[in-house]
Amino acid sequence: MGGELSSLLAPYGVAVVGAGPASGSVGGEILRNLVRCGHSGPLYAVNPKYDEVAGVPCMPSVDRLPDFVDLAILAVPRDAVLRIVDACGGRGIRNLIIVTAGFKESGREGAELEDALRHLIARHRLRVIGPNCMGILRRTGEVQLNASFSRWFPEGGNIAFISQSGSLGETLLECFAEAGLGVSLFVNLGNRAGLTEDDFLAELADDPSCGAVFLYLESFANPAAFRRLVEDMAPRKPVVVLKAGRTEAGAAAVASHTGSLASSDAIVDAFLRQSGALRVTTVQETLTALRALERRVLPKGRRTLVLTNAGGAGILAADACERAGLDVPRLSEDVQDALRSVLVPEAGTGNPVDLLATAGARAYEAAIDIGLREADAAVVIFRPPLVLPDPPVAVADAVISAASRWPDKPVVVSTLSEQSTEITERFHAARLPVFAMPETAVEALSVLARASLVQKRQTEDVPVSYSVATAQRVIRDARRETRIGLTFSEGATLLSAYGIGVCASRYVGAAEDLRAAVAGMRFPLAAKLDSPQLLHRVEENAVALDLKDPGDVKRAVERLLRSPVAAALPDARVLVQEMQRGRELILGVKRDGAFGPVVMFGIGGTYVEAFHDVAFAVAPLTQRDAISMVSSIRAARLLGAFRGQPAVDLGALTRALVALGQLALDVRDIEEIDVNPLFADAENLTAVDVLVRLSSPVPRDRGGESAAETE
Amino acid sequence: MGGELSSLLAPYGVAVVGAGPASGSVGGEILRNLVRCGHSGPLYAVNPKYDEVAGVPCMPSVDRLPDFVDLAILAVPRDAVLRIVDACGGRGIRNLIIVTAGFKESGREGAELEDALRHLIARHRLRVIGPNCMGILRRTGEVQLNASFSRWFPEGGNIAFISQSGSLGETLLECFAEAGLGVSLFVNLGNRAGLTEDDFLAELADDPSCGAVFLYLESFANPAAFRRLVEDMAPRKPVVVLKAGRTEAGAAAVASHTGSLASSDAIVDAFLRQSGALRVTTVQETLTALRALERRVLPKGRRTLVLTNAGGAGILAADACERAGLDVPRLSEDVQDALRSVLVPEAGTGNPVDLLATAGARAYEAAIDIGLREADAAVVIFRPPLVLPDPPVAVADAVISAASRWPDKPVVVSTLSEQSTEITERFHAARLPVFAMPETAVEALSVLARASLVQKRQTEDVPVSYSVATAQRVIRDARRETRIGLTFSEGATLLSAYGIGVCASRYVGAAEDLRAAVAGMRFPLAAKLDSPQLLHRVEENAVALDLKDPGDVKRAVERLLRSPVAAALPDARVLVQEMQRGRELILGVKRDGAFGPVVMFGIGGTYVEAFHDVAFAVAPLTQRDAISMVSSIRAARLLGAFRGQPAVDLGALTRALVALGQLALDVRDIEEIDVNPLFADAENLTAVDVLVRLSSPVPRDRGGESAAETE
């Protein structure tokens, strides 16, 4: 506690402006929630029409509130909001929740009003949630606060839930209650005119009442800030993110829903993975992930023991493991012998371990104890059969007891029944995640496996020095000529300044003695037209390959200079290069409206064009990000030794990806760079072509990382 | 009714052999279930120890049962089973349910007992379910039968549920009850020593009490029979299949669980798609699919309207549509204008249509009516907000009323709450599929879209005549020499007999006048060593490509004949072919232990090796199966016009795939054929190499399709 937001999250005096006694009054609902939740400090309503609302004293205006009110909640008509915010600021009330809607989400007029609101917030240095929000809920050892119109005041627990959407947030709170998940904080951000998810993440980092964070987001207020905060927090407290608007169709809906700028989903995916957040896709997956994380025992590896008294369910669980990337390894003969010594002869001991319907408490306990010797985690399926010597709770207790002896190995349970019984209660109480379906139990385990990888992450970055000044000089020269394209030679200078090798090349003229010009170069050669206005050389037929001798070169140079493209580009020159060998790769960086520079990687060649097999990462890239990019493409194995070609130098490749991202961060004029192709072999990376496009020369209001602010 | 199994499914007199009064007696449980379920005919127990069990008369032996007993249920010790089955047969009781376990699933001794049981079944021409099964449940207008030890006697309904597993079957019945799904039949097949899923499918085809079939299977008793039955039934009654053991890990579990032979999952996937079954992967997806199919309104296309009063949930639904391959198209300006005329100005009209929290019955009804003009189906999200002028049931009724005006367009509902309320009851009663989560509602819609494609399928096959006799003669000649490999020339004869073009080629000798031998052939040529023992030509370095003139050819032929491979193969000859151009493809057929011949298709070349981008189909292939194979590979676009090459002749390609499957069906000695590479262009398909492997010459007990029987 005691963070920046402590007086907002644990206020003393609270006032609801616009509260009325009518049942349809949102302010009245909020006031009644405040009364009911057991808030310990004084409460006020503000409304000129009443002296009292819901048993709470009512003041005619904000000015009349006593000094110790440190949080005001505004549920007033839209056109009164600015005036009241100003009054609160004047009165020294710095914490506000603005419930009122009709701002940015409702069109141009509302957007202008929101701009004015932002100015007021800055002027009075206010901490404002909203507008267009539902409010906050807080339950900790000391604080009980329902400062919202949510019908749900969830159980206390260690999840902090930050939701951009109000209605979905309330829905999820209801689902949390059904799933037995408790929260220490719920906040609905609404339009984020003041506080954003980042302010709350900063507050939660050291909040002992928060064990895990869940965010529902439709866009990121400030991706770079979000990433820094999550990178810091995720290894200690899991951060689960449900990011909506993940696809084209969804993105259209986001744009019309909150006016946010949506980004291509592949970038969001990369960004969240880089940050260390655990992305979930559906409401159901959200609940599963949060329940899995309650006990916070993370597996050391992927080896999964499946233990069942119902054969078919064991198979479904093993199937689900395979789909989720978890292994269900056959147990060793030693362990199987140990299992056989405690189980009935008909039991299956390979893995899944099929205990058969007759298995009682002793069989379960022994099988978990023995099986976990060779596994990192267990899925235990227990459906009480028709006939069983032990009472079902005895079996549950045996499972709990065995699990407690393996404090480093998660055990998740499936009961094959949606109904809550004494058994599920038992597992709940012991904090063993328990689910009806075996596939859901496996999904829970796979979330834990992902969380474990985040926990093990290390910051390993070696500082590299780049020649930033050289790169900036190249851009300045181009800017001076009001160009947005660079020549090959300028592009090559940029890459070299960031440590990326470029193929040796020379400009030649038609009148030149070509034999002399190419002396010392290794045939075969390639010749290309080059001009800062020529952005698609191959498509424009401005390349000649496989030139075997000076005669070939001469003919190619003449053809290129006589070509229609050259005629249209008076500054076009011809460039001659040595042909390269090795694996053909594509590297690139593009500035995204929301996330800033995004680095791209793929393997070149005809087929990749058909497969769209590329990976992304948001700059800055760590070495780990670059490795994860390279290994995530489907054809990654082509980078190893393949068909007689040696393995590519992966160290050089990942360094190049990191450098490309940094180049675009350092030089904000760069809109995009395509390094295509780049040839890689065991020793070298050699860029053969590079196209650079700068941002439009008309200066725009953008500023690198802060341009990522999407609001 | 009145099918083959009518006296089994609607018996008059029923006896439970082995029933006892103890609470742990499985036979006793079955008897009590029979009493409780309201079976209208006479009941008997058979047990020498008692005169009466559970109020039912008890006979000392099967022989003492009256003549009108037409179903006996055996819950006796394993070693008594054969004797009692024989007695039932002798007594004329032809319908048996054998609950007793300890047969094939429990090892060699049990397997031998099961073989003996099969002989008895054949001898007495019995209809037997089991052994190792739970029994059957039947609820129709006329029949109420619980001839099982299931604790659940589900509600009547129109789903017929066939389960290979007992415990999972009972679990699913419990889930059905929670999901409000009723069944007309549940049968647990157990070890399938007598009746299999196919017998029940045949019975259900014309059973008016069955509207949809759901199967849980770990293997197929007879894939070919299954496919014929499902192909016939699926366009009228949806067939949903949960096939477990879908992955390597799962498959290992299946093998140890029921002793079944598992097949690679890609083949199962292709097989079910070809059959017209709707495959589901998890228990949850099963329930969603069956609930979706209850109303049986199938969409004509993929255009989906998303309608919501909670913006965030609408976005999640749109995201889920995109993932499921459903479109959420932007509505036309005309339709948006119509929506604007009935909705509040702040409503979103693009799609998702965001009605906002204030939307009442009129807004919902009008928006569905207007929106469905431009969509094939709707996802309607309705979460009763805090304040609403209409009571929530009025909104539900409005949705139901609008949906009823579009009888051809499915409407699925999400309420954003797991709790069953008056609203969900209303939707249930109107048979509108209703789910808590928007993603589940979308999943339901996607099942309906798949079912719609099956319903629209047509049998379109044009009879083709192949030269079966020619193919058989080639094999006979090879068999005579006890070979399992064929020469290129023999392989070419097989392909030609089935209408697949093969590249022109000639055998040449070293001593020959090569200039004369290759006269009339188009250079460049290729030369290959050929021998029926040489199954991997390229790997053995037995190919020379790009021979530009007769001199090249001569040198290549000499090199090949002097090579170590040739030295090891005294029958090796050299083959000369014209080099081919076009797209490089791979075709093949392999005989699978469970499914018989499986046809494979892929695009050749380096990268595909890395991508494993291949498709399968089980023979016989329809033209539609072949088209679906070709279009399902990820790089399918490479078959169209690409990088200056014209589009491949898809008609010829699909005919070749159909033919290859038929060849392996017609000639059962064929174990596998690889046609690799085959070159395709706009006019021709030309096989350049073909390798054929026959089954081991020692005659085995196998018989084509019937070899697919996995038991």
Report residue B707's pLDDT band, with 50, 70 and 90 as the boundaries. very low
Contact B167 A310 (CB under 8 A): yes
Instruction: Kindly indicate the confidence band of residue A255, based on its pLDDT and cuts at 50, 70 and 90.
Output: very low
3-class DSSP assignment, residue A21: coil
Spatial CB neighbours of A644, under 8 Å, sequence gap ≥ 6: none
B603 near B640, Cβ under 8 Å? no
B199 within 8 A of B172, measured Cβ to Cβ: no
Q: Smallest Cβ distance to B634: which of A252, A316, A611? A: A611
From residue B188, give the alpha-carbon distance in Å to each of A291, A612, A679, B152, B162.
34, 46, 60, 13, 6
Greatest extent of chain B over all pairs of C-alpha atoms, in Å: 100
Q: Lowest mean pLDDT: which of A144-153, A354-363, A462-471, B416-425?
A: B416-425
Judged by a CB distance cut-off of 8 A, whether residue B151 touches chain A is yes
In one-letter notation, the amino acid at residue B199 is D
Residue B46: is its pLDDT beyond 60?
yes
pLDDT category, A266, cuts 50, 70, 90?
confident
401-420 in chain A: CB under 8 A from chain B = 416-419
pLDDT band at A398 (very low <50, low <70, confident <90, very high): very high
Q: Please, which pLDDT band fits residue A517 given cuts at 50, 70 and 90?
A: confident
Across residues B43-53, what is the average pLDDT?
96
Cβ B328–A174 below 8 Å, yes or no?
no
Helical segments of A579-622, H only: 606-611
Question: Nearest CA to A266 among A617, A644, A604?
Answer: A617
Q: Is B456 on the interface with A (CB under 8 A)?
A: no
> Residue A138, SS3?
strand
Question: What's the confidence (pLDDT) of residue A386?
Answer: 66
Cross-chain Cβ contact A386/B643 below 8 Å? no
Q: What SS3 class is residue A689? A: coil
SS3 A513: coil
Q: So what's the pLDDT on residue A535?
A: 76
B541 inside 8 A of chain A by CB: no
| B181 vs B214: CA distance, rounded Å | 12
Q: Which residues of B touch A607 (CB under 8 A)?
A: 605-608, 611, 635, 638
A200/chain B closest Cα distance in angstroms: 21
Test mutation, A256, A260, A285, chain B, max B CBs within 10 A: A256
H-run or E-run covering B214: strand B212-217
Whether A482 has its CB under 8 Å from any CB of chain B: the answer is no
Q: Does B378 touch chain A (CB under 8 A)?
A: no
Model confidence at A259: pLDDT above 80: no
Q: Strand, coil or helix: what is A457? A: coil
Q: Do A635 and B611 touch (CB under 8 A)?
A: yes
Say whether pLDDT at B267 is over 70. Answer: yes
Chain A partners of B350 at a C-beta cutoff of 8 Å? 252-253, 256
Q: Point out which residues pair with A243 in neighbouring strands.
A: A217
Identity (one letter) of the amino acid at A481?
E
Nearest CA distance, B504 vs chain A (angstrom): 29
Task: Check if A54 contacts B (Cβ < 8 Å).
Answer: no
The better pLDDT of the pair B345, B258 is held by B345
Structure tokens at A448: 């834990």
- Three-state secondary structure readout of B464-498: CCCCHHHHHHHHHHHHHCCCCECCHHHHHHHHHHC
* B260 has pLDDT over 60: no
Mean residue pLDDT of chain A comes to 90
In whole angstroms, what is the distance from residue B625 CA to residue A199 CA? 56
DSSP summary character for residue A637: G
Contact B161, B138 (CB under 8 A): no
Instruction: Determine the average pLDDT of the residues in A26-31.
Output: 94
Contact between A648 and A582 (Cβ < 8 Å): yes
Question: How far apart are alpha carbons B98 and B92 in whole angstroms?
Answer: 16
5-24 in A: which are within 8 Å (CB) of B? 24
**CB-based contacts of A14, cutoff 8 Å, min separation 6:** A34, A39, A41, A42, A43, A44, A69, A70, A71, A72, A73, A147
A611 and B635: CB-CB below 8 Å? yes
**More confident position, A456 or A100:** A100
pLDDT at B657 over 50: yes
The predicted pLDDT at position B708 comes to: 34
What was the pLDDT predicted at B250? 55
**Is B401 a residue whose pLDDT tops 90?**
yes
pLDDT, mean over chain B: 90
Task: With CB atoms and an 8 Å threshold, state whether B24 touches A312.
Answer: no
Cβ of B608 under 8 Å from any chain A Cβ? Answer: yes
DSSP state for residue A522 in the 8-state scheme? P
Choosing among B167, B263, B351, B379, which should be mutated to test the A contact, i.e. which has the most A CBs within 10 A? B167
* pLDDT score at A1: 47
Residue A252 pLDDT exceeds 90: no
Q: Is B652 helix (H, G, I), strand (E, B) or coil?
A: helix
**A196, A219 Cβ separation under 8 angstroms:** no
Check residue A594 and give its pLDDT: 85
User: What average pLDDT does range B385-407 have in this prediction?
Assistant: 90
Burial (0-12, 13-18, 19+ Cβ within 10 Å), B700: exposed
Q: Is the pLDDT of residue B158 over 70?
A: yes
**Residue A414: what residue type?**
S
| DSSP E strands, B156-238 | 156-163, 183-188, 212-217
Query: Looking at the DSSP assignment, which residues form a beta bridge with residue A95?
Result: A71, A127
Pairing state between β A127-129 and A95-98: parallel
Joined together, the tokens standing for residue A314 give 């064991």
The 10s digit of each residue's pLDDT in B550-569 is 889 999 999 999 998 888 88
For residue B700, the model assigns a pLDDT of: 45
Q: What are the backbone dihedrals phi and psi of residue A31, each rounded to the nearest 5 degrees, phi first?
A: -60, -45
Residue B535 has pLDDT above 80, yes or no: no
Helix (H) or strand (E) holding A680: strand A670-680
Altogether, the residues listed in chain B come to a count of 711
Instruction: Write out residues 179-198 of A within 8 Å (CB-CB) of B.
Output: none
The residue to which tokens 């050259």 are assigned: A566
pLDDT in tens, A442-500: 999 999 999 999 998 876 667 788 999 999 999 999 999 989 899 999 999 999 999 99
Residue of B nearest to A262 (CA): B315
Q: What is the 3-state secondary structure (H, E, C) of A239-252?
A: EEEEECCCCHHHHH
Containing H/E element for A398? Answer: helix A392-404
Residue B607 contacts A where some CB pair is shorter than 8 Å: yes
Question: What's the pLDDT tens digit per position in B172-219?
Answer: 998 898 888 999 999 999 999 999 999 999 999 999 999 999 999 999
pLDDT at A146: 96
For the segment B680-704, the average pLDDT, to the nearest whole number, is: 77
pLDDT digits (tens, 9 = 90+) for A597-630: 999 998 876 655 667 788 899 999 999 999 999 9
Per-residue pLDDT tens digits for A579-601: 998 888 999 999 888 899 999 99
How open is the CA angle B189-B193-B195, to the nearest 5 degrees? 55
- Nearest-Cα distance to chain A for B329, in Å, is 8
Whole-angstrom distance, CA of residue A534 vs CA of residue B377: 48
Phi-psi region of A55 (alpha: psi -120 to 50; beta: other; left: phi over 0): left
User: Is-contact B67 B88, C-beta < 8 A?
Assistant: no
Strand-pair category, A212-217 with A239-243: parallel
**Residue B465 CB contacts under 8 Å (≥ 6 apart), including other chains:** none
Judge contact between A34 and A14, C-beta under 8 A.
yes
Q: Which residue of A has its CA nearest to B310?
A: A167
Please tell me the distance in Å from B188's CA to the nearest CA on chain A: 12
Report yes or no: A312 at the B interface, CB cutoff 8 Å.
Answer: yes
**Partner B contacted by A642 (CB < 8 A):** yes
Cα dihedral A250, A255, A259, A265, rounded to 10, equals 60
User: In this structure, are residues A286 and A280 in contact, taking their beta carbons and an 8 Å threshold?
Assistant: yes
Q: State the amino acid at position B155 in one-letter form.
A: E
Q: How many CB pairs under 8 A join A and B?
A: 255
B221 three-state secondary structure: coil
In this structure, what are the phi and psi dihedrals at residue A478, rounded to the nearest 5 degrees?
-65, -40
Of B498, B478, B506, nearest in space to B490 by CA: B478
- Record the tokens describing residue A119, joined without a space: 């100015």
Reported as a pLDDT band with limits 50, 70 and 90, residue A702 is very low
Q: Which of A72-76, A237-241, B2-6 has the lowest mean pLDDT?
A: B2-6
pLDDT at site B606? 63
Supply the pLDDT for residue A256.
44
pLDDT, tens digit (0-9, with 9 covering 90-100), for A674-698:
998 899 988 889 999 999 999 986 5
| Residue reference for tokens 């379910």 | B129
Instruction: Name which residue leads in pLDDT, A496 or B294.
Output: A496
Across A72-79, average pLDDT = 96
Average pLDDT over residues B289-304: 93
For B567, counting Cβ atoms within 10 Å of its Cβ (0-12 exposed, 13-18 middle, 19+ buried), the class is exposed
* Structure tokens given for B117: 């049981």
pLDDT at B255 > cutoff 70: no
Nearest CA in chain B to A310: B167
What interface predicted TM-score (ipTM) does this complex get? 0.84
CB contact under 8 A, B327 and A178: no
Q: Do B442 and B324 touch, CB atoms closer than 8 A?
A: yes
Chain A residues close to B611, C-beta within 8 Å: 607, 611, 613, 634-635
Residue A179's φ and ψ, nearest 5 degrees, are -85, 0
Instruction: Judge whether A316 is closer than 8 Å to chain B, CB to CB.
Output: yes
**For the residues B333-349, what does the mean pLDDT come to?**
94
Would you say A405 and A438 are in contact if contact means Cβ atoms under 8 Å apart? no
CA-based nearest distance A2→chain B, Å: 32
Extract the tokens encoding B187.
Answer: 């049968």
How far does the CA of residue A438 sit from the closest CA of chain B (Å)? 8
- Within an 8 Å CB–CB cutoff, is residue B254 touching chain A? yes
For residue A579 the two structure tokens come to 């042909």
Name residues 318-357 of chain A within 8 A of B (Cβ): 318-323, 327-328, 330, 346, 348, 350-352, 354, 357
Distance CA A445, CA A329 (A): 16
Contacts of A418 in chain B (CB under 8 A): 174-175, 178
Answer whether B441's CB lies under 8 Å from B352's CB: no
* Nearest-by-CA chain A residue for B216: A312
- CB of A538 within 8 Å of any CB in chain B? no
Higher pLDDT, A366 or B250: A366
pLDDT at B342: 95
Query: In angstroms, rounded to a whole number, what is the distance separating the alpha carbons of residues B500 and B496?
Result: 5
Cα–Cα–Cα angle for B365, B369, B371, nearest 5°? 115
pLDDT computed for residue A2 by the predictor: 57
Contact B348 A216 (CB under 8 A): no
Q: How far out from the chain centre does Cα B462 lie?
A: 24
CA dist list (Å): B612 to A322, A585, B73: 18, 20, 50
What is the band of B465 on the pLDDT scale with cuts at 50, 70, 90? confident
Q: What is the reported pLDDT for B151?
A: 81
Residue A701 pLDDT exceeds 70: no
Q: Mutating which of A134, A165, A167 best tests the B interface, going by the most B Cβ atoms within 10 A? A: A167
